Structure 1
Amino acid sequence: MIPISHPCVRLAVASLCMSAAFGAAQASTVQVYGILDVGVRHAPNLSVSEDAITKVDDGMRSRIGLRGTEEVAPGVKAFFRLEHSLRMDTGAQRESVFWDDKAWVGLDSKALGQVMLGRLRSPTDEYTNGTRFEAFMGHTLGASTGRAALGTDAWNNGVYYISPSWEGLMAGVGFSAGEGAVASSRGAHVEYTRGPLDVALAWQRDGESLHDTKSTLTIAGTYQWPALLMLATYARSDDVGLTDSGQRTSWSLGARVPLGSGQVRVSGRITRDDQLQAAGDRSKDVEWRHLGLGYHHPLSKRTSVNATMAYDQRKTFDAAGATLTRRSGPGFELGLRVAF
């Protein structure tokens, strides 16, 4: 028997209680949603060796969440969102915080814009290098090596404002209050959408400690042709590494092409760490090159099969910048995804 204290039981009880409470009010909605994705992967861990390992693993980051809205005045809605991520191969909680991915409330006005408070996604993660701008939605073996340089992906104690859209142009600005030994963070984004073009820019300054910060700039865009969606991202983090003298840069270019009932997806990425040990010292630096190719095949409105193959190359360096190790190898993944 599953104990009442189990997180899944608590989540189900909470969703039922909130559904009942919100259902009593007019013009309000509450939804339980999620993505469950798991498959078989055969790929090397190039940070260790070129030997391939076969395992059952998450493809897309699996999560379950609650979201809801309620009209509180003409043209004004209150909203909330809670999201918990888990590991489908073991059922374990992914992070130490239960609502690790999202936990916020807010108000949305058609005339004035939107404000959110709580645990938020950071500007560079949410508005530029998230799922909309990467061919594999930033997940699976096809995407592989991260997507936002070294910028913090989630902010605690956050407040974020997003403007209404002006002829396809909107902007946002946010702040994360420091707490304990962590300094405050701040950031902003701007996005322009018109016809087939969607382009966004974001910047943030993350407080890692009371005396240590890092900045990240990201640019991303998509362009939709009749039978081809092109996607591109660029990210750069500065003031990183042991002496704040390093940087990480990442470029990606991808495409989604309809084929049959599904999509062919392809993505290429180059990520470089530079002088993370100290200025003029490359002994902690790494360079990744990644190419992913896959097919997304819907079985129904909610369920899909995702087949992916990838080829990766990883280089490390000595202090002077000469190549120390060079490893490469292919990988394969076949996964089943259910979205609800």
Structure 2
Amino acid sequence: MQYKQLLSAVAALGTVGIAAAQSSVTVFGKLDAGYVNKIGSKTAQGTNGMGEGAQSRIGFRGTEDLGGGLSAFFWLEHRLRSNTGESTAVRFWQGQSIVGLKGGWGSLSFGRDYIAGYVEVQMTPDPFIHTGVSSMVAFGNGNIGTVRNDGAMTYKFDAGDFGMQAQIANASHPNSTTLPAPATARRPKGLSLTYRAGPVYLGYGYEDPGGRHDHWHFATARTEVGPVTLAGGYGRGRTDTLEQRRSWIVGAYLPIASGRLKLVYGDLENTSGKQTISRKYALGYNHHLSKRSFLYANIARDTEAWADRTGVDIGLQHNF
């Protein structure tokens, strides 16, 4: 049934592209396949063996010029497992499903979208961009926040070197793996601010996941020192059960031969109980075969994991 929906969407989008000369529709995605040995208990691991370091996906995005500097846009993104062809989530359009308007005043979109500042702030210090066994997503949101919000209204504005995002979403669990999602006490909200000056990039993000007490602040910085890109991040927040948490991340990547070497270290602590939740470091290398395809090998270790503290993923990724 899901694949019939996908074929119908492709046909519909093709019709839009033919009907309006000033419209554009792009098909994009990635396929990732390889060997994966995850970190964690057997429950957390899932199935090891053939899998993927980064989630495979296919998506459609497009814009239409409405005149007067105004345009409409949309983004649909489906996630799948390359080794089986199965969907990775209960939502068919797990990645994003948004439609909006943009002009000189910024953009306003509606639908399932990334939280404000996820890509621009929380992902910045992670050279593995929150994928595979080396993902630092838990340090970016403290395991308090989430990645996407359902039913979100998102405003974005860029003015020269400055950027801003603000979001409010439905009062339901923002990224539940089950449907229907359980209700939250309040509407999830978020705000992010960014600034770029040459090689220096600064960002700050605030997230209220929608509980009565939880919130998360995260600040990041990135710069270039010769061929090396250095980045760091620091976060503080509180869970809905009033547990105080703190995280920090340092990461770097540099070009080597025909690829890129990546290193990262992160620490997440329950400061209320003075307990380390996660302490993780990772090393990886991407060997570029072209602008769109590369081989990768990554190894990560979490000293606080209950079991299987070391994880590995080795594979091939193609982007289109």
TM-score (norm 2): 0.86
1:54 and 1:94 map into 2 onto residues whose CA distance is: 15
> Within 5 Å, which residues of 2 pair with 1:114-125?
114-125=107-118
Spell out, residue by residue over 1:39-65, the C-alpha distance to the aligned partner (whole angstroms, 9 max, x if none): 1124553x469x9x9512220122211
Contact 1:145–1:290, Cα closer than 8 Å, also in 2: no
Amino acid at match of 2:203: A
Other-structure match for 1:181: 183
Other-structure match for 1:10: 5
Spell out, residue by residue over 1:234-290, the C-alpha distance to the aligned partner (whole angstroms, 9 max, x if none): 2333133xxx22133322111110011111111111122355xxxx6x8xx652221
| Structure having the larger proportion of residues in strand | 1
Partner residue of 2:165 out of 152, 172, 187: 172
Partner residue of 1:250 out of 243, 247, 250: 247
Other-structure match for 1:336: 316
2:145 and 2:48 map into 1 onto residues whose CA distance is: 31
Contact 1:104–1:120, Cα closer than 8 Å, also in 2: yes
Cα gap change, 1:105 to 1:44, in 2 (>3 Å): closer
1:19 and 1:72 map into 2 onto residues whose CA distance is: 19
2:284 and 2:68 map into 1 onto residues whose CA distance is: 46
Other-structure match for 1:319: none
Matched, 1:138 2:130: yes
Other-structure match for 1:312: 302
Query: 1:333: how far off?
Result: 2.2
Query: 1:158: how far off?
Result: 1.2
Cα gap change, 1:332 to 1:126, in 2 (>3 Å): closer
2:315 and 2:71 map into 1 onto residues whose CA distance is: 38
| Structure with more relative contact order (C-alpha pairs < 8 Å, separation 6 or more) | 2
Spell out, residue by residue over 1:127-182, the C-alpha distance to the aligned partner (whole angstroms, 9 max, x if none): 3113x4311111122336633222022112211111231x3012122211325833
Query: 1:122: how far off?
Result: 0.8
150-159 or 135-144, which deviates more: 135-144
Other-structure match for 1:93: 87
SS, match of residue 15 in structure 1:
helix
Q: Which runs of 5+ in 2 are unaligned?
A: 173-181
303-312 or 255-264, which deviates more: 303-312
Q: Which runs of 5+ in 1 are unaligned?
A: 316-325
Partner residue of 2:59 out of 56, 65, 70: 65
Matched, 1:157 2:159: no
Other-structure match for 2:176: none
Q: For this pair of structures, how many residues does the alignment match? A: 306
141-150 or 195-204, which deviates more: 141-150
1:42 and 1:97 map into 2 onto residues whose CA distance is: 26
Partner residue of 2:286 out of 284, 296, 300: 296
1:144 and 1:58 map into 2 onto residues whose CA distance is: 17
Cα gap change, 1:57 to 1:113, in 2 (>3 Å): same
Query: 1:103: how far off?
Result: 0.8
16-25 or 27-36, which deviates more: 16-25
The alignment-based identity, stated in percent, is 25
Query: 1:291: how far off?
Result: 1.4
Matched, 1:33 2:28: yes
SS, match of residue 17 in structure 1:
helix
Other-structure match for 1:322: none
Amino acid at match of 1:136: F
Amino acid at match of 1:163: F
Structure 1 segments (4+ residues) deviating >4 Å:
326-329
2:126 and 2:136 map into 1 onto residues whose CA distance is: 11
SS, match of residue 208 in structure 2:
strand
Query: 1:198: how far off?
Result: 1.2
Amino acid at match of 2:230: M
Cα gap change, 1:331 to 1:173, in 2 (>3 Å): closer
Cα gap change, 1:87 to 1:213, in 2 (>3 Å): farther
Other-structure match for 1:19: 14
Other-structure match for 1:79: 73
Spell out, residue by residue over 1:160-212, the C-alpha distance to the aligned partner (whole angstroms, 9 max, x if none): 111231x301212221132583331222111001110111101021214xxx3
2:115 and 2:293 map into 1 onto residues whose CA distance is: 29
2:252 and 2:290 map into 1 onto residues whose CA distance is: 23
Partner residue of 2:101 out of 102, 107, 118: 107
Amino acid at match of 1:74: G
Other-structure match for 1:205: 208
Other-structure match for 1:232: 232
TM-score (norm 1): 0.82
Q: Which is greater in Rg? A: 1
Cα gap change, 1:28 to 1:90, in 2 (>3 Å): same
Spell out, residue by residue over 1:293-322, the C-alpha distance to the aligned partner (whole angstroms, 9 max, x if none): 11111112221111112232016xxxxxxx
Contact 2:247–2:269, Cα closer than 8 Å, also in 1: yes
Other-structure match for 1:56: 50
